[in-house]
Amino acid sequence: MAVGARSGHDEPEDRPDIPGNAEPAGTTADSTESDGASPSGGSTAQGKPRSFWKELPLLIGIALILALLIKTFLVQAFSIPSDSMQDTLQRGDRVLVDKLTPWFGSEPERGEVVVFHDPGGWLDDTPEVHPNVVQKFLSFIGLMPSAEEKDLIKRVIAVGGDTVECKENGPVVVNGKALDEKSFIFPGNTPCNDKPFGPIKVPKGRIWVMGDHRQDSRDSRYHPQLPGGGTVSNDEVVGRAIVVAWPINRWATLPIPKTFDQPGLNAAMAVAPGAIGIAGAVPLVFWRRRRAAPASARSNA
């Protein structure tokens, strides 16, 4: 017999197509389970997706929580109801205000447009508004401005430690440097608008603010009799307005005018010992807000 030849008594090959070689019933792999059928031949019920209407309340809840967190810590929308910031801002504009930066201890800077709470007495002549329940809820989560909060929006002209003044028909002067305000004050206005002031030393932790429409803005110039002499505490500042978001055809960023970057503007401010070394490190962590791009913002007419 040749090597490798099979004798007639050899075991039959394991071939399922040969009668008698089929495996006994119940020993074959149950291939039907991978097809979704049960071993008994019945079909296994597939997991049904959750109904959209059952998931909708959960999605709404998540959206509301996110809106509330964004409004509280990041960015909030404010509306402009008056003309005191023309032509930079028009009545009806919606601005987005950066509320995150103040959390890192950054103070307002000259030239920024900021939203702040009424320091007290600035908006006493503003009519009271009584929103309904829906309006209160929407303003609470940040989907519409609050009608009850008394907030204003102005431009920071001087900060704590600065000396600011404006002689009749003259420019606004900060620390001995005249500001060139032609790029942002309302056409035809004069810097003082027949309301000269100063020189005023701005207390530490406070700011001196003015509207861009000098003839239609009751700003720091008009409140020397109030605590702070017309200045606003940094603690009252909600945040910096960084962009006009609505209407779409008015979309624009709100950069700091170049006149506030002129050399020597900080020369008159005292520098504490060791402050130079600290100042060299801080910008690496807290980048200046002006390089970025966070209730109704009520500007007193």
What's the rounded Cα separation, in Å, for the pair 219 and 211?
A: 6
Residue 239 phi/psi, 5° resolution?
165, 180
Of all helices (H) and strands (E), which one includes residue 138? helix 133-140
The band of 121, judged by pLDDT with boundaries at 50, 70 and 90, is confident
The band of 146, judged by pLDDT with boundaries at 50, 70 and 90, is low
Beta strand 172-174 with 163-166 is antiparallel
Contact predicate 268/163, CB 8 Å: yes
pLDDT, tens digit (0-9, with 9 covering 90-100), for 104-120:
668 899 999 999 999 88
At residue 151, does pLDDT exceed 80?
yes
pLDDT, tens digit (0-9, with 9 covering 90-100), for 81-92:
889 999 999 999
Residue 108 pLDDT: 94
Residue 99 pLDDT: 84
Strands (E), 149-268: 150-159, 163-166, 172-174, 177-178, 197-201, 206-210, 232-233, 237-246, 252-253
Residue 60 phi/psi, 5° resolution?
-65, -40
Task: Kindly name the residue from 71, 99, 150, 154 that is annotated as catalytic.
Answer: 154
At residue 53, does pLDDT exceed 90?
no
Distance, C-alpha 200 to centroid of its chain: 32
Which amino acid does the sequence have at 46? Q
At residue 212, does pLDDT exceed 80?
yes
Least confident range from 125-134, 221-230, 268-277: namely 268-277
Q: Which residue has the higher pLDDT, 220 or 49?
A: 220
Residue 77 pLDDT: 85
At residue 157, does pLDDT exceed 90?
yes
Least confident range from 13-17, 161-165, 284-288, 294-298: namely 284-288
**What's the pTM?**
0.65
Average pLDDT (123-145) is: 60
Residues 6+ apart with CB under 8 A from 195: 166, 214, 221, 222
At residue 232, does pLDDT exceed 60?
yes
Which amino acid does the sequence have at 207? I
SS3 at position 234: helix
Average pLDDT (174-201) is: 94
Contact predicate 153/95, CB 8 Å: yes
How far apart, in Å, are the Cα atoms of 205 and each of 6, 70, 231, 295? 104, 26, 10, 25
> Residue 92, exposed/middle/buried by CB under 10 A (0-12, 13-18, 19+)?
exposed
Domains plus CATH for the chain?
75-297 (2.10.109.10)
Q: Closest Cα to residue 28, out of 44, 39, 41?
A: 39
Task: Kindly name the residue from 82, 84, 146, 299 that is annotated as catalytic.
Answer: 84
Residue 225 pLDDT: 92
Say which residue the tokens 């100063």 belong to. 198
Residue 286 pLDDT: 40
**84 assigned to active site:** yes
Q: Give me Rg for the CA atoms of the chain.
A: 35
Of all helices (H) and strands (E), which one includes residue 97? strand 94-98
At residue 16, does pLDDT exceed 60?
no
pLDDT, tens digit (0-9, with 9 covering 90-100), for 19-52:
545 454 444 444 434 444 444 444 444 556 667 7
- Mean pLDDT, the chain, whole residue set: 74
